Amino acid sequence: MAPSLRARLLTAVAGHPDGTAPYVLELAEGDDAGYFAEGSAPWIVHAGMGTFVAGIRALLMQALHPGAMAGVHDWSRYRDDPMGRLAGTVRWIVVLTFGSTDQADRETARVARFHTRVAGDYTAGDGSARRYSATDRDLVDWVHVTFADAFLTCHETWGDGIPGGADAYVGEWATAGRLMGVETPPVTAAELRARRDGFLERGELRGDERVADVVRFLKKPPFRGTLGIAYRVLFAAAVATIPAPYRRMLGVRRSILPVRALTGVALWAAGRAIGSGPRAQDFARMRLRRLVGDG
């Protein structure tokens, strides 16, 4: 029997056909509520279907920083195992958002151990030769900002609202930035966009052949059949949400098709499929209910 749409989606994004990888099951364990409260802005945004678009948008934007791009080029396995890299990113988001403090701290340490090895050389936006480390202040800042900007923008476009509004999401998710080494993460939506645009204004970003190579790779759907068609829609949606100056650097254009409406349909179908079984936040709620009972 062919795998269900739910199984194919969850295998793609979480590396497990029913979404119950060991780290997901562990969300039911632990002795506290974690860094983010149930029903908080990060809970709502990261459980939303706009995350399917946001992940693509974040990768596109992150590629524009030549230091971050060098790290991906030199160290990432995205070409050999793109779904494995995606599943690793999903794991980090899920654990930090829904896990206990202990689980989130262990996940942060796991990512940090890898980042300590990531270092090399790159050509900066101004043409100068520089050294990079994945722990450099400007790199972790850029990665955090583009991540938050992508997930906020895509939820605002295809989601159902955010408790406390956009500022609540940025302010609360700043905790994740601090955990990953961002010294002063933005705490409002205006600060977030200003921080993002500051990189552009200072000439720290560039579009070059490495960026073009990543764009070509991300354009090519890693799926076949229905999922392949849906991916093309999601990629076009990600491009449509990126401001014009960054699109020009990426060498991409907005589609002439009604991408927003088509994406809404694709995300609705994906939500129906995934919602037919347990999701990560359901296991987190098991932990929270147990803690209430133990109290």
**Which pLDDT does position 209 carry in this prediction?**
87
The per-residue pLDDT for 3 is 55
The answer, yes or no, to whether residue 293 has pLDDT greater than 50, is yes
What pLDDT score was predicted for residue 1? 33
Residue 6 lies in a domain: no
Tally of domains within the chain: 1
Residue 129 lies in a domain: yes
Mean predicted confidence (pLDDT) in 109-131: 70
User: For the segment 204-227, what is each residue's pLDDT rounded down to a tens digit?
Assistant: 899 988 889 889 888 886 677 777
pLDDT tier at 112 (50, 70, 90 boundaries)?
confident
Domain membership flag for residue 239: yes
Any idea which of 22-31, 85-94, 143-152, 259-268 has the lowest mean pLDDT? 85-94
Phi, psi of 129, deg, nearest 5: -85, 135
- The answer to whether residue 291 is domain-embedded is no
- By residue range, what is the domain housing residue 84? 11-286
Most distant pair of Cα atoms in the chain: their distance: 60
By the 8 A CB rule, do 61 and 246 touch? yes
Residue at 3 is within a domain: no
pTM for the model? 0.88
In a domain, 4, yes or no: no
CA distances for 150 relative to 2, 131, 241, 243, angstroms = 33, 27, 8, 11
89 belongs to a structural domain: yes
Across the chain, mean pLDDT equals 85
First to last CA, the chain: 46
Domain-located, residue 87: yes
* Residue 18 pLDDT > 70: no
Extract the tokens encoding 251. 């060498």
74: confidence class by pLDDT, cuts 50, 70, 90: low
Mean pLDDT of 221-243: 87
Task: Evaluate if residue 41 carries a pLDDT over 70.
Answer: yes
pLDDT above 60 (res 86)? yes
CB of 162 closer than 8 Å to CB of 45 = yes
